[in-house]
A and B are shown apart, each in its own frame.
Chain A
Amino acid sequence: MALITCDNLSLGYDGETVASGVSFRVEDGDYLCIVGENGSGKTTLMKTLLGLLTPVSGQLIFGDGLRQNEIGYLPQQTVVQRDFPASVGEVVLSGCQGRCGLRPFYNRAEKRLAAESMERMGIAGLSERCYRELSGGQQQRVLLARALCAARRVLLLDEPVTGLDPKVTAELYAIISKLNRDGITILMISHDVEAAVRYASHVLHMDKTVFFGTRAEYVKSGAGFGYPGGEGGAL
Protein backbone atom coordinates (compact mmCIF):
# COMPACT_ATOMS: atom_id res chain seq x y z
CA MET A 1 0.00 0.00 0.00
CA ALA A 2 1.17 3.52 -0.73
CA LEU A 3 2.48 5.66 2.12
CA ILE A 4 0.26 8.59 1.22
CA THR A 5 -2.72 8.54 -1.10
CA CYS A 6 -4.61 11.68 -2.06
CA ASP A 7 -7.80 11.14 -3.98
CA ASN A 8 -9.52 14.11 -5.60
CA LEU A 9 -8.59 16.32 -2.70
CA SER A 10 -9.91 19.87 -2.34
CA LEU A 11 -7.76 22.10 -0.18
CA GLY A 12 -8.50 25.32 1.59
CA TYR A 13 -8.93 27.15 4.86
CA ASP A 14 -11.57 29.30 6.51
CA GLY A 15 -14.13 27.79 4.17
CA GLU A 16 -12.34 28.98 1.05
CA THR A 17 -11.12 26.44 -1.46
CA VAL A 18 -7.63 27.11 -2.77
CA ALA A 19 -7.09 24.09 -4.97
CA SER A 20 -9.23 21.17 -6.03
CA GLY A 21 -8.91 17.90 -7.90
CA VAL A 22 -5.54 17.04 -6.36
CA SER A 23 -4.76 13.35 -6.68
CA PHE A 24 -1.45 11.62 -6.19
CA ARG A 25 0.23 8.67 -4.53
CA VAL A 26 3.51 8.56 -2.69
CA GLU A 27 5.24 5.18 -2.41
CA ASP A 28 8.01 4.31 0.00
CA GLY A 29 11.28 5.77 -1.29
CA ASP A 30 9.77 8.26 -3.72
CA TYR A 31 11.11 11.78 -4.22
CA LEU A 32 8.11 13.94 -5.00
CA CYS A 33 8.53 17.52 -6.00
CA ILE A 34 5.54 19.82 -5.68
CA VAL A 35 5.83 22.81 -8.00
CA GLY A 36 3.51 25.62 -8.95
CA GLU A 37 2.99 29.36 -8.90
CA ASN A 38 2.51 31.33 -5.70
CA GLY A 39 -1.05 30.94 -4.56
CA SER A 40 -1.55 27.62 -6.30
CA GLY A 41 -2.07 25.88 -2.97
CA LYS A 42 1.32 24.25 -2.40
CA THR A 43 1.64 25.39 1.19
CA THR A 44 -2.01 24.60 1.87
CA LEU A 45 -1.37 21.07 0.61
CA MET A 46 1.61 20.77 2.89
CA LYS A 47 -0.33 21.95 5.92
CA THR A 48 -3.08 19.50 5.07
CA LEU A 49 -0.56 16.66 4.84
CA LEU A 50 0.78 17.64 8.26
CA GLY A 51 -2.68 17.67 9.76
CA LEU A 52 -2.67 21.41 10.47
CA LEU A 53 -5.64 21.87 8.14
CA THR A 54 -8.45 19.49 7.30
CA PRO A 55 -9.23 18.83 3.63
CA VAL A 56 -12.35 20.55 2.27
CA SER A 57 -13.35 17.38 0.47
CA GLY A 58 -11.82 14.25 -0.95
CA GLN A 59 -9.65 11.66 0.72
CA LEU A 60 -6.23 11.71 2.28
CA ILE A 61 -5.08 8.26 3.39
CA PHE A 62 -1.91 7.31 5.20
CA GLY A 63 -0.90 3.72 4.63
CA ASP A 64 1.82 1.28 5.48
CA GLY A 65 1.75 2.11 9.18
CA LEU A 66 2.63 5.77 8.66
CA ARG A 67 1.11 8.11 11.19
CA GLN A 68 0.54 11.77 10.44
CA ASN A 69 2.82 13.06 13.19
CA GLU A 70 5.65 10.83 11.98
CA ILE A 71 6.30 13.10 9.03
CA GLY A 72 9.45 15.17 9.48
CA TYR A 73 8.90 18.78 8.52
CA LEU A 74 11.31 21.46 7.36
CA PRO A 75 9.33 24.70 7.55
CA GLN A 76 10.32 27.99 6.02
CA GLN A 77 12.34 30.08 8.43
CA THR A 78 10.50 32.60 10.54
CA VAL A 79 11.53 36.04 11.75
CA VAL A 80 11.59 34.81 15.34
CA GLN A 81 14.34 32.32 14.58
CA ARG A 82 16.73 34.93 13.23
CA ASP A 83 17.41 36.31 16.70
CA PHE A 84 16.56 33.33 18.84
CA PRO A 85 19.29 32.44 21.34
CA ALA A 86 19.48 28.68 20.95
CA SER A 87 22.35 26.28 20.47
CA VAL A 88 22.33 23.87 17.55
CA GLY A 89 22.05 20.96 19.97
CA GLU A 90 18.93 22.41 21.57
CA VAL A 91 17.26 23.00 18.22
CA VAL A 92 17.95 19.49 16.93
CA LEU A 93 16.84 17.89 20.18
CA SER A 94 13.53 19.74 20.00
CA GLY A 95 12.74 17.54 16.99
CA CYS A 96 12.20 14.69 19.46
CA GLN A 97 9.33 16.65 21.01
CA GLY A 98 6.67 14.50 19.38
CA ARG A 99 8.15 11.36 20.96
CA CYS A 100 7.91 12.75 24.47
CA GLY A 101 4.20 13.09 24.92
CA LEU A 102 3.74 14.60 28.34
CA ARG A 103 7.15 13.53 29.63
CA PRO A 104 8.93 16.78 30.47
CA PHE A 105 12.53 15.90 29.63
CA TYR A 106 14.36 14.09 26.86
CA ASN A 107 15.70 10.62 27.59
CA ARG A 108 18.99 9.11 26.58
CA ALA A 109 17.67 7.44 23.42
CA GLU A 110 16.36 10.77 22.17
CA LYS A 111 19.65 12.51 22.88
CA ARG A 112 21.46 9.78 20.96
CA LEU A 113 19.02 10.16 18.07
CA ALA A 114 19.72 13.90 17.99
CA ALA A 115 23.48 13.25 17.98
CA GLU A 116 23.09 10.75 15.12
CA SER A 117 21.01 13.19 13.09
CA MET A 118 23.65 15.89 13.50
CA GLU A 119 26.33 13.40 12.48
CA ARG A 120 24.33 12.54 9.40
CA MET A 121 23.97 16.17 8.39
CA GLY A 122 27.67 16.83 8.99
CA ILE A 123 27.05 19.37 11.75
CA ALA A 124 28.14 17.33 14.77
CA GLY A 125 30.92 19.83 15.45
CA LEU A 126 28.47 22.74 15.60
CA SER A 127 26.42 21.36 18.50
CA GLU A 128 27.43 24.13 20.93
CA ARG A 129 27.24 26.93 18.41
CA CYS A 130 24.46 29.49 18.39
CA TYR A 131 21.86 28.81 15.73
CA ARG A 132 21.42 32.43 14.67
CA GLU A 133 25.13 32.86 13.97
CA LEU A 134 25.28 30.07 11.39
CA SER A 135 25.16 30.59 7.64
CA GLY A 136 21.91 29.98 5.80
CA GLY A 137 23.08 26.60 4.52
CA GLN A 138 24.18 25.46 7.96
CA GLN A 139 20.86 26.57 9.44
CA GLN A 140 18.99 24.46 6.91
CA ARG A 141 21.14 21.46 7.84
CA VAL A 142 20.26 22.02 11.49
CA LEU A 143 16.56 22.12 10.68
CA LEU A 144 16.95 19.01 8.50
CA ALA A 145 18.62 17.21 11.42
CA ARG A 146 15.71 18.27 13.62
CA ALA A 147 13.23 16.97 11.04
CA LEU A 148 15.13 13.66 10.97
CA CYS A 149 14.62 13.38 14.74
CA ALA A 150 10.90 13.67 14.24
CA ALA A 151 10.69 11.03 11.51
CA ARG A 152 12.91 8.52 9.83
CA ARG A 153 10.69 7.68 6.87
CA VAL A 154 9.10 10.77 5.36
CA LEU A 155 10.39 14.33 5.12
CA LEU A 156 8.34 17.31 3.98
CA LEU A 157 10.49 20.22 2.85
CA ASP A 158 8.97 23.66 2.33
CA GLU A 159 11.08 25.68 -0.11
CA PRO A 160 14.33 24.46 1.43
CA VAL A 161 16.68 26.46 -0.80
CA THR A 162 15.04 29.89 -0.55
CA GLY A 163 17.66 32.57 -0.01
CA LEU A 164 20.67 30.28 -0.42
CA ASP A 165 23.43 30.95 -2.91
CA PRO A 166 23.90 28.52 -5.85
CA LYS A 167 26.78 26.60 -4.31
CA VAL A 168 25.00 25.99 -1.01
CA THR A 169 21.79 25.21 -2.89
CA ALA A 170 23.59 22.47 -4.82
CA GLU A 171 25.04 21.08 -1.60
CA LEU A 172 21.64 21.00 0.04
CA TYR A 173 20.08 19.24 -2.95
CA ALA A 174 22.91 16.70 -2.77
CA ILE A 175 22.18 16.05 0.92
CA ILE A 176 18.47 15.64 0.22
CA SER A 177 19.22 13.21 -2.64
CA LYS A 178 21.48 11.22 -0.35
CA LEU A 179 18.76 10.98 2.29
CA ASN A 180 16.42 9.79 -0.43
CA ARG A 181 18.91 7.10 -1.56
CA ASP A 182 19.16 6.01 2.07
CA GLY A 183 15.48 5.17 1.89
CA ILE A 184 13.76 8.30 3.16
CA THR A 185 10.73 9.42 1.22
CA ILE A 186 10.99 13.08 0.26
CA LEU A 187 8.17 15.51 -0.43
CA MET A 188 9.54 18.89 -1.47
CA ILE A 189 7.78 22.13 -2.29
CA SER A 190 9.80 24.20 -4.68
CA HIS A 191 9.76 27.11 -7.08
CA ASP A 192 12.73 25.59 -8.76
CA VAL A 193 11.30 23.52 -11.61
CA GLU A 194 14.75 22.80 -12.98
CA ALA A 195 15.87 21.16 -9.75
CA ALA A 196 12.58 19.33 -9.52
CA VAL A 197 13.17 17.74 -12.86
CA ARG A 198 16.77 16.97 -12.06
CA TYR A 199 16.34 15.26 -8.70
CA ALA A 200 12.75 14.14 -8.25
CA SER A 201 11.29 10.79 -9.14
CA HIS A 202 7.78 12.21 -9.34
CA VAL A 203 6.37 15.67 -9.92
CA LEU A 204 3.12 17.22 -8.77
CA HIS A 205 2.46 20.43 -10.68
CA MET A 206 -0.28 22.53 -9.14
CA ASP A 207 -1.92 25.08 -11.33
CA LYS A 208 -5.36 25.55 -12.77
CA THR A 209 -4.97 21.95 -13.86
CA VAL A 210 -3.08 19.55 -11.66
CA PHE A 211 -0.43 17.33 -13.17
CA PHE A 212 0.94 14.29 -11.38
CA GLY A 213 3.34 11.78 -12.86
CA THR A 214 6.89 10.56 -13.00
CA ARG A 215 9.73 12.85 -13.93
CA ALA A 216 9.88 11.48 -17.47
CA GLU A 217 6.17 12.08 -18.00
CA TYR A 218 6.51 15.59 -16.65
CA VAL A 219 9.39 16.45 -18.93
CA LYS A 220 7.43 15.19 -21.89
CA SER A 221 4.41 17.28 -21.03
CA GLY A 222 6.38 20.09 -19.39
CA ALA A 223 6.39 22.36 -22.40
CA GLY A 224 2.62 22.05 -22.51
CA PHE A 225 2.46 23.92 -19.19
CA GLY A 226 4.33 26.81 -20.72
CA TYR A 227 6.96 26.58 -18.07
CA PRO A 228 10.36 28.12 -18.73
CA GLY A 229 12.96 25.48 -18.07
CA GLY A 230 10.40 22.76 -18.53
CA GLU A 231 11.77 22.15 -21.98
CA GLY A 232 15.49 22.08 -22.68
CA GLY A 233 17.63 23.38 -19.83
CA ALA A 234 16.69 20.80 -17.29
CA LEU A 235 18.27 17.61 -18.50
Chain B
Amino acid sequence: MSIFETLALYYSYPFVRYAMIVGVLIALCSSLLGVTLVLKRFSFIGDGLSHVAFGAVAVASVMNLSNDMLIVLPVTVLFAVLLLRGGQNAKIKGDAAIAMISVGALAFGYLLMNLFSTSSNLSGDVCSTLFGSTSILTLTKKEVWLCGVLSLIVVAVFVFFYNKIFAVTFDESFARAVGTNAGAYNLLVAVIIAVIIVLAMNLVGSLLISALVIFPALSAMRVFRSFRAVTVCSAVFSVLCAVAGILVSILAGTPVGSTIVAADMIAFAGFSLAGRLRGGA
Protein backbone atom coordinates (compact mmCIF):
# COMPACT_ATOMS: atom_id res chain seq x y z
CA MET B 1 0.00 0.00 0.00
CA SER B 2 1.27 3.45 -0.84
CA ILE B 3 1.28 6.23 1.74
CA PHE B 4 -1.78 7.79 0.17
CA GLU B 5 -3.75 4.59 0.26
CA THR B 6 -2.86 4.14 3.91
CA LEU B 7 -3.97 7.68 4.65
CA ALA B 8 -7.19 7.22 2.69
CA LEU B 9 -7.91 4.08 4.66
CA TYR B 10 -7.34 5.79 7.99
CA TYR B 11 -9.32 8.76 6.83
CA SER B 12 -12.38 6.62 6.34
CA TYR B 13 -12.53 6.16 10.13
CA PRO B 14 -14.53 8.92 11.82
CA PHE B 15 -12.21 9.11 14.83
CA VAL B 16 -9.29 10.03 12.59
CA ARG B 17 -11.33 12.77 10.93
CA TYR B 18 -12.43 14.07 14.34
CA ALA B 19 -8.83 14.12 15.51
CA MET B 20 -7.83 16.08 12.42
CA ILE B 21 -10.61 18.67 12.82
CA VAL B 22 -9.98 19.18 16.52
CA GLY B 23 -6.21 19.27 15.98
CA VAL B 24 -6.46 22.00 13.37
CA LEU B 25 -8.89 24.08 15.42
CA ILE B 26 -6.83 23.88 18.58
CA ALA B 27 -3.61 24.64 16.75
CA LEU B 28 -5.24 27.71 15.22
CA CYS B 29 -6.60 29.04 18.51
CA SER B 30 -3.50 28.42 20.56
CA SER B 31 -1.28 30.23 18.08
CA LEU B 32 -3.34 33.44 18.10
CA LEU B 33 -2.48 34.57 21.58
CA GLY B 34 1.05 33.23 21.48
CA VAL B 35 2.60 36.50 20.38
CA THR B 36 0.92 38.43 23.17
CA LEU B 37 1.89 35.90 25.81
CA VAL B 38 5.51 35.59 24.68
CA LEU B 39 5.93 39.36 24.69
CA LYS B 40 4.31 39.75 28.08
CA ARG B 41 6.84 37.22 29.39
CA PHE B 42 4.12 34.68 30.00
CA SER B 43 5.54 31.92 27.78
CA PHE B 44 5.08 29.41 30.52
CA ILE B 45 1.51 30.26 31.33
CA GLY B 46 0.40 27.40 29.08
CA ASP B 47 2.43 25.03 31.18
CA GLY B 48 1.21 26.44 34.48
CA LEU B 49 -2.45 26.51 33.53
CA SER B 50 -2.40 23.07 31.98
CA HIS B 51 -1.07 21.67 35.23
CA VAL B 52 -3.88 23.44 37.01
CA ALA B 53 -6.23 21.76 34.55
CA PHE B 54 -4.51 18.45 35.31
CA GLY B 55 -5.14 18.98 39.01
CA ALA B 56 -8.75 19.78 38.25
CA VAL B 57 -9.09 16.65 36.14
CA ALA B 58 -7.78 14.65 39.10
CA VAL B 59 -10.33 16.25 41.40
CA ALA B 60 -13.08 15.53 38.88
CA SER B 61 -12.10 11.90 38.50
CA VAL B 62 -11.88 11.42 42.26
CA MET B 63 -15.34 12.89 42.61
CA ASN B 64 -16.50 10.58 39.82
CA LEU B 65 -17.93 13.41 37.74
CA SER B 66 -19.06 12.21 34.34
CA ASN B 67 -18.37 15.54 32.67
CA ASP B 68 -15.10 16.91 34.03
CA MET B 69 -15.34 20.09 31.86
CA LEU B 70 -17.72 21.45 34.50
CA ILE B 71 -14.95 21.67 37.04
CA VAL B 72 -11.85 21.92 34.82
CA LEU B 73 -12.87 25.00 32.83
CA PRO B 74 -13.91 27.26 35.75
CA VAL B 75 -10.88 26.34 37.84
CA THR B 76 -8.48 27.00 34.96
CA VAL B 77 -10.14 30.32 34.11
CA LEU B 78 -9.89 31.34 37.76
CA PHE B 79 -6.16 30.66 37.91
CA ALA B 80 -5.55 32.35 34.54
CA VAL B 81 -7.23 35.47 35.85
CA LEU B 82 -5.24 35.34 39.09
CA LEU B 83 -1.97 35.04 37.17
CA LEU B 84 -2.55 37.65 34.47
CA ARG B 85 -4.46 40.18 36.54
CA GLY B 86 -2.00 40.17 39.39
CA GLY B 87 0.80 40.38 36.83
CA GLN B 88 2.03 43.90 37.39
CA ASN B 89 1.82 44.42 41.10
CA ALA B 90 1.45 40.98 42.62
CA LYS B 91 3.68 40.07 45.54
CA ILE B 92 4.93 36.96 43.73
CA LYS B 93 5.55 37.95 40.14
CA GLY B 94 5.26 36.37 36.69
CA ASP B 95 7.56 33.40 36.35
CA ALA B 96 7.68 32.61 40.06
CA ALA B 97 3.90 32.64 40.37
CA ILE B 98 3.52 30.41 37.33
CA ALA B 99 6.16 27.99 38.56
CA MET B 100 4.54 27.80 41.96
CA ILE B 101 1.04 27.16 40.66
CA SER B 102 2.28 24.78 37.99
CA VAL B 103 4.25 22.51 40.29
CA GLY B 104 1.74 22.78 43.10
CA ALA B 105 -1.20 21.75 40.92
CA LEU B 106 0.75 18.91 39.33
CA ALA B 107 1.76 17.46 42.69
CA PHE B 108 -1.70 17.94 44.15
CA GLY B 109 -3.35 16.24 41.18
CA TYR B 110 -0.99 13.27 41.21
CA LEU B 111 -1.38 12.91 44.97
CA LEU B 112 -5.16 12.86 44.68
CA MET B 113 -5.08 10.33 41.87
CA ASN B 114 -2.85 8.08 43.96
CA LEU B 115 -4.85 8.36 47.16
CA PHE B 116 -8.28 7.88 45.64
CA SER B 117 -7.52 5.97 42.51
CA THR B 118 -10.57 4.43 40.87
CA SER B 119 -8.76 2.89 37.94
CA SER B 120 -6.43 -0.08 37.89
CA ASN B 121 -4.00 1.50 35.46
CA LEU B 122 -2.93 4.60 37.34
CA SER B 123 0.33 5.36 35.60
CA GLY B 124 -1.40 4.91 32.25
CA ASP B 125 -4.08 7.42 33.24
CA VAL B 126 -1.54 9.96 34.43
CA CYS B 127 0.57 9.47 31.35
CA SER B 128 -2.29 10.07 28.96
CA THR B 129 -3.42 13.17 30.85
CA LEU B 130 0.08 14.55 30.74
CA PHE B 131 0.97 13.64 27.18
CA GLY B 132 -2.48 13.34 25.64
CA SER B 133 -1.32 10.16 23.99
CA THR B 134 -4.64 8.64 23.06
CA SER B 135 -7.48 10.90 24.09
CA ILE B 136 -7.55 12.78 20.80
CA LEU B 137 -8.34 9.50 19.05
CA THR B 138 -11.25 8.75 21.36
CA LEU B 139 -13.18 11.98 20.83
CA THR B 140 -16.94 11.73 20.53
CA LYS B 141 -19.01 13.72 18.08
CA LYS B 142 -20.29 15.89 20.92
CA GLU B 143 -16.76 16.82 21.98
CA VAL B 144 -15.87 17.72 18.41
CA TRP B 145 -18.85 20.07 18.27
CA LEU B 146 -17.99 21.60 21.63
CA CYS B 147 -14.44 22.16 20.47
CA GLY B 148 -15.66 23.65 17.19
CA VAL B 149 -17.99 26.12 18.89
CA LEU B 150 -15.42 27.19 21.49
CA SER B 151 -12.74 27.66 18.82
CA LEU B 152 -15.11 29.72 16.73
CA ILE B 153 -15.80 31.96 19.73
CA VAL B 154 -12.09 32.30 20.48
CA VAL B 155 -11.25 33.27 16.89
CA ALA B 156 -14.18 35.70 16.68
CA VAL B 157 -13.27 37.41 19.95
CA PHE B 158 -9.65 37.65 18.87
CA VAL B 159 -10.49 39.22 15.50
CA PHE B 160 -12.97 41.59 17.07
CA PHE B 161 -10.54 42.84 19.70
CA TYR B 162 -7.40 42.48 17.61
CA ASN B 163 -6.53 46.19 17.62
CA LYS B 164 -7.25 46.55 21.33
CA ILE B 165 -5.13 43.54 22.20
CA PHE B 166 -2.30 44.97 20.12
CA ALA B 167 -2.53 48.37 21.79
CA VAL B 168 -2.65 46.94 25.30
CA THR B 169 0.23 44.52 24.69
CA PHE B 170 2.46 47.05 23.00
CA ASP B 171 2.08 49.81 25.54
CA GLU B 172 -0.24 49.34 28.46
CA SER B 173 0.33 52.76 30.03
CA PHE B 174 -0.37 54.57 26.78
CA ALA B 175 -3.50 52.51 26.21
CA ARG B 176 -4.72 53.36 29.70
CA ALA B 177 -3.94 57.03 29.16
CA VAL B 178 -6.16 57.24 26.08
CA GLY B 179 -8.96 55.62 27.99
CA THR B 180 -8.72 51.97 26.95
CA ASN B 181 -9.78 49.68 29.74
CA ALA B 182 -6.54 47.71 29.84
CA GLY B 183 -7.61 45.67 32.85
CA ALA B 184 -10.65 44.35 31.00
CA TYR B 185 -8.55 43.28 28.03
CA ASN B 186 -6.00 41.55 30.23
CA LEU B 187 -8.92 39.71 31.78
CA LEU B 188 -10.20 38.79 28.33
CA VAL B 189 -6.81 37.43 27.31
CA ALA B 190 -6.69 35.39 30.51
CA VAL B 191 -10.11 33.83 29.92
CA ILE B 192 -9.35 33.03 26.27
CA ILE B 193 -6.05 31.40 27.12
CA ALA B 194 -7.69 29.28 29.80
CA VAL B 195 -10.34 28.05 27.36
CA ILE B 196 -7.68 27.23 24.77
CA ILE B 197 -5.62 25.28 27.27
CA VAL B 198 -8.54 23.19 28.44
CA LEU B 199 -9.29 22.42 24.80
CA ALA B 200 -5.69 21.65 23.96
CA MET B 201 -5.29 19.15 26.78
CA ASN B 202 -7.10 16.64 24.56
CA LEU B 203 -4.63 17.13 21.78
CA VAL B 204 -1.16 17.22 23.26
CA GLY B 205 -1.82 16.73 26.95
CA SER B 206 -0.83 19.14 29.66
CA LEU B 207 2.95 18.84 29.37
CA LEU B 208 3.22 19.95 25.77
CA ILE B 209 0.69 22.78 25.58
CA SER B 210 3.34 25.45 25.96
CA ALA B 211 4.79 24.24 22.68
CA LEU B 212 1.53 24.95 20.86
CA VAL B 213 1.42 28.44 22.34
CA ILE B 214 5.00 29.58 21.90
CA PHE B 215 6.53 27.81 18.90
CA PRO B 216 4.31 29.41 16.23
CA ALA B 217 4.77 32.89 17.71
CA LEU B 218 8.53 32.56 18.15
CA SER B 219 8.97 31.16 14.64
CA ALA B 220 6.89 33.89 13.01
CA MET B 221 8.78 36.55 14.97
CA ARG B 222 12.04 35.30 13.47
CA VAL B 223 10.91 36.16 9.97
CA PHE B 224 8.19 38.80 10.01
CA ARG B 225 8.30 42.40 11.12
CA SER B 226 4.75 43.54 11.67
CA PHE B 227 2.24 42.37 14.23
CA ARG B 228 -0.34 41.43 11.63
CA ALA B 229 2.12 39.39 9.55
CA VAL B 230 3.41 37.66 12.67
CA THR B 231 -0.12 36.78 13.81
CA VAL B 232 -1.20 35.43 10.42
CA CYS B 233 2.04 33.54 9.95
CA SER B 234 1.90 31.91 13.37
CA ALA B 235 -1.68 30.77 12.76
CA VAL B 236 -0.73 29.19 9.41
CA PHE B 237 2.46 27.73 10.90
CA SER B 238 0.58 26.17 13.78
CA VAL B 239 -2.13 24.61 11.61
CA LEU B 240 0.36 23.16 9.11
CA CYS B 241 2.52 21.69 11.87
CA ALA B 242 -0.52 20.15 13.53
CA VAL B 243 -1.65 18.56 10.25
CA ALA B 244 1.84 17.29 9.53
CA GLY B 245 2.20 15.95 13.07
CA ILE B 246 -1.11 14.11 12.99
CA LEU B 247 -0.37 12.58 9.55
CA VAL B 248 3.06 11.38 10.62
CA SER B 249 1.73 9.97 13.86
CA ILE B 250 -0.91 8.00 11.93
CA LEU B 251 1.62 6.63 9.47
CA ALA B 252 4.43 5.96 11.90
CA GLY B 253 2.30 5.06 14.87
CA THR B 254 3.94 7.67 17.10
CA PRO B 255 2.13 9.53 19.92
CA VAL B 256 0.14 12.43 18.47
CA GLY B 257 1.09 15.18 20.90
CA SER B 258 4.82 14.74 20.87
CA THR B 259 4.86 14.28 17.08
CA ILE B 260 3.13 17.64 16.63
CA VAL B 261 5.62 19.28 18.95
CA ALA B 262 8.49 17.68 17.04
CA ALA B 263 7.05 19.12 13.82
CA ASP B 264 6.89 22.52 15.55
CA MET B 265 10.54 22.26 16.58
CA ILE B 266 11.73 21.34 13.09
CA ALA B 267 9.75 24.18 11.54
CA PHE B 268 11.12 26.56 14.16
CA ALA B 269 14.65 25.63 13.17
CA GLY B 270 13.74 26.32 9.54
CA PHE B 271 12.28 29.71 10.39
CA SER B 272 15.29 30.67 12.50
CA LEU B 273 17.54 29.89 9.57
CA ALA B 274 15.30 31.86 7.20
CA GLY B 275 15.28 34.79 9.60
CA ARG B 276 19.06 34.75 9.87
CA LEU B 277 19.50 34.65 6.09
CA ARG B 278 17.02 37.46 5.69
CA GLY B 279 18.63 39.49 8.45
CA GLY B 280 22.05 39.08 6.83
CA ALA B 281 20.84 40.04 3.38
- Chain A residues near B (Cβ < 8 Å): 50-52, 68-69, 71, 73, 75, 78, 80-81, 83-87, 89-91, 94-95, 97-98, 100, 104-106, 128-130, 133, 146-147, 150, 156
Smallest Cβ distance from A175 to chain B, in angstroms?
A: 19
Known: A85-B224, A100-B163. Is A80-B40 also a contact (CB below 8 A)? yes
Does B179 count as interface, using CB distance less than 8 angstroms?
Answer: yes
Does B166 count as interface, using CB distance less than 8 angstroms?
Answer: yes
Cα distance, A53 to B105, chains bound together (Å): 36
Q: B166 to A104, Cβ gap below 8 A?
A: no
Q: A94 to B163, Cβ gap below 8 A?
A: yes
B5 / chain A contacts, CB cutoff of 8 Å? none
A81 / chain B contacts, CB cutoff of 8 Å? 170-171
Q: B173 to A97, Cβ gap below 8 A?
A: no
Smallest Cβ distance from B176 to chain A, in angstroms?
A: 6
Q: A52 to B176, Cβ gap below 8 A?
A: yes
Q: A69 to B228, Cβ gap below 8 A?
A: no
Minimal Cβ-Cβ distance residue in B for A76: B173
Does B244 count as interface, using CB distance less than 8 angstroms?
Answer: no
B35 / chain A contacts, CB cutoff of 8 Å? 85
Does B161 count as interface, using CB distance less than 8 angstroms?
Answer: yes
Does B117 count as interface, using CB distance less than 8 angstroms?
Answer: no
Cα distance, A97 to B162, chains bound together (Å): 11
Cα distance, A133 to B275, chains bound together (Å): 14
Known: A73-B174, A75-B174, A97-B180. Is A86-B163 also a contact (CB below 8 A)? no
Residue-wise, chain B 21-65 has the 8 Å CB interface mask toward A (1 for contact) of 000000000000001000111000000000000000000000000
Smallest Cβ distance from B34 to chain A, in angstroms?
A: 12
Does B266 count as interface, using CB distance less than 8 angstroms?
Answer: no
Smallest Cβ distance from A93 to chain B, in angstroms?
A: 8
Cα distance, A130 to B229, chains bound together (Å): 11
A105 / chain B contacts, CB cutoff of 8 Å? 163
B161, B169, B227: the one contacting A87 at CB < 8 Å is B227
Does B239 count as interface, using CB distance less than 8 angstroms?
Answer: no
Cα distance, A85 to B222, chains bound together (Å): 9
Cα distance, A71 to B230, chains bound together (Å): 31
Cα distance, A40 to B51, chains bound together (Å): 45
Q: Which of B162-202 contact A (CB under 8 A)?
A: 162-164, 166-167, 169-171, 173-180
A89, A104, A150: the one contacting B163 at CB < 8 Å is A104
Residue among B167, B176, B180, B230 with most chain A CB within 10 A = B167
Known: A97-B178, A98-B180, A104-B163. Is A133-B173 also a contact (CB below 8 A)? no
Cα distance, A158 to B134, chains bound together (Å): 55
Cα distance, A50 to B179, chains bound together (Å): 9
A52, A83, A129: the one contacting B39 at CB < 8 Å is A83
Q: A86 to B166, Cβ gap below 8 A?
A: yes
Cα distance, A86 to B227, chains bound together (Å): 5
Cα distance, A27 to B159, chains bound together (Å): 42
B177 / chain A contacts, CB cutoff of 8 Å? 50-52, 69, 71, 73, 75, 150, 156
Minimal Cβ-Cβ distance residue in B for A14: B89
Q: B170 to A73, Cβ gap below 8 A?
A: no
Minimal Cβ-Cβ distance residue in A for B160: A104
Minimal Cβ-Cβ distance residue in A for B41: A80
